[in-house]
Amino acid sequence: MRLIDTHCHLNLIENKEDIIKSFEENNVNFVIEVGIDIENSFKSLELADNHKNIYCAVGIHPNESKKLSNKDFDTINILAKNEKVVAIGEIGLDYYREYTTKNEQYYSFVNQFNLAKENKLPVILHIRDAYDDAFNLILNEGVNEDLGVVHCFSSDWKTAKKFLDLGFYIGIDGPITFKNNYKLVEVVKNTPVEYILPETDSPFLTPVPFRGKKNNPIYTKYIITKIAEIKNINPEELSEIFIENAKKLFRRIKI
């Protein structure tokens, strides 16, 4: 099975070079390293520049959106011009953790959402306990033509459908392999395979059977296999569909 991981944080893993070296033997076609703040976005781009099969997104996570200024958005804007940058992200709203105020998160999200439009790039959305507000913000600002993915989707089918109706993709992570995750299984059942992207969010959210250990992009295999089981599709066939989905959304992927 050819694997991809459309959302990982290799820079948060100590032995990342060992993991990257093992991509080839594990059939990892490409991965997207996602930025969480300015410094980490620079590192994401550096990692992507050094490895043919690594692309990146640059952006500031809602939890890192404290005391931002125009200068920060200008920096993201400059980084976004690089051809290995395939998206702006991860950006969004996170009411689960209150490291930042709602106002700080809004300011950060709106600025970067519009910056994605300016650069004709899709967005990688991080939304936690804030789906209605994020959805309304997107409607208010006007849906970007290049769309994006709702990363690590964790709400219900009704909410998923609202984003799908706008054209957004749904990112599915390790929690789909967890026991009794009926809500997410229903989302996967109802979402067309052409709108699903497999992602690990490594080093977090490790899927079964490695739950409790550190996650890495190779484990998308377990996520794809689980989705295939739910959709009653051959996993090899499904992983090829997912590769096409990723290339369609993240147009700068050239592999």
Instruction: For Zn ion, give the closer residue by CB, 84 or 151.
Output: 151
Secondary structure, 3-state, 165-182: HHCCEEEECHHHHCCCCH
Instruction: For Zn ion, give the closer residue by CB, 72 or 173.
Output: 173
Site string for Zn ion, 43-72 (x = CB under 5 A): ------------------------------
Question: Residue 76 CB, nearest distance to Zn ion (Å)?
Answer: 16
Question: Residue 7 CB, nearest distance to Zn ion (Å)?
Answer: 6
The rounded distance, in Å, linking the Cα atoms of 119 and 88 is: 9
Question: Residue 186 CB, nearest distance to Zn ion (Å)?
Answer: 23
DSSP state for residue 6 in the 8-state scheme: E
Q: Token pair for residue 40? A: 């980490």
Instruction: For Zn ion, give the closer residue by CB, 37 or 201.
Output: 201
The rounded distance, in Å, linking the Cα atoms of 118 and 185 is: 35
Residue partners of 148: CB distance under 8 A and separation at least 6: 87, 89, 116, 122, 123, 124, 125, 168, 169, 249
**From the centroid of its chain, how far is CA 15?**
22
Instruction: For Zn ion, give the closer residue by CB, 197 or 228.
Output: 197
**From the centroid of its chain, how far is CA 120?**
17
Site string for Zn ion, 194-223 (x = CB under 5 A): -------x----------------------
Instruction: For Zn ion, give the closer residue by CB, 31 or 228.
Output: 31
Residue nearest to Zn ion (CB): 201
Q: Provide the binding-site residues for Zn ion, judged by CB under 5 A.
A: 201
